[in-house]
Amino acid sequence: MSPSPSPRLRRRALSVLFLLLATSGLLRIGLTAGHALDAANAEAVPPETTACAGGDAATRALFDDLKERESSLTARENGIAAREKAVALAGSEAEKRIATLEAAERKLAATIEQADQAAEKDVARLVAVYERMKPKDAASLFAEMAPDFAAGFLSRMRPEAAAAVMAGLDPKVAYAISVQFAGRNAAAPKS
């Protein structure tokens, strides 16, 4: 009878994890592309920047145009390098956050497991108490319980003890508990 996380909460947690993992993947792709660009730029041979001596005006204009393009490319490379650094920083930050979330998830799962075990022990003790009671006394307690709550305890009791308690109940109350007890697993998939 331990409460489990709702499907909505599970979906929300899975959505957050998926979003973080997808972001990490995109950042890694960006980093890989940046490294490929760096490797291609490192292999390129810088053009000779010697001054044109005695060239004509067309050659001088071509040389000036090439120098302008070179400075434009250098500026673009610097911008790309800055973006790569930002992407790398964001990627490492995302990985740190994912690791933190995974650690928190493990800690939460351990806490939930511990709470579930404690709750299970408490319910088992209470079932043992009901089984040791006189059936008439237990029946008066079960008559006051909500049918679904009572059915939960009866399902855990030994059949003989549960039968004695049910026999001591008012027929209408026993019927309501029986309906709950019988329908508990009706929605379970049948293979």
Which of 163, 158, 123 minimizes the C-alpha distance to 3? 123
- pTM summary value: 0.42
Every domain of the chain and the residues it spans: 1-118, 133-186
Judged against a pLDDT cut of 60, whether residue 41 lies above it is answered with yes
Tokens for 106, please give them: 């493990």
Interval 130-149: pLDDT, tens: 999 999 999 999 999 999 98
HSE toward the beta carbon, residue 136, CA cutoff 13 A: 0
Q: How far apart are CA 1 and CA 159, in angstroms?
A: 19
Rounded to whole angstroms, what are the CA distances from 15 to 21, 24, 42? 10, 14, 41
Mean predicted confidence (pLDDT) in 57-63: 89
Confidence of residue 11 (pLDDT cuts 50, 70, 90): confident
Distance of CA 120 to the CA centre of its chain: 26
Tokens for 51, please give them: 């001054």
Residues 6 or more apart in contact with residue 99 via CB below 8 angstroms? none
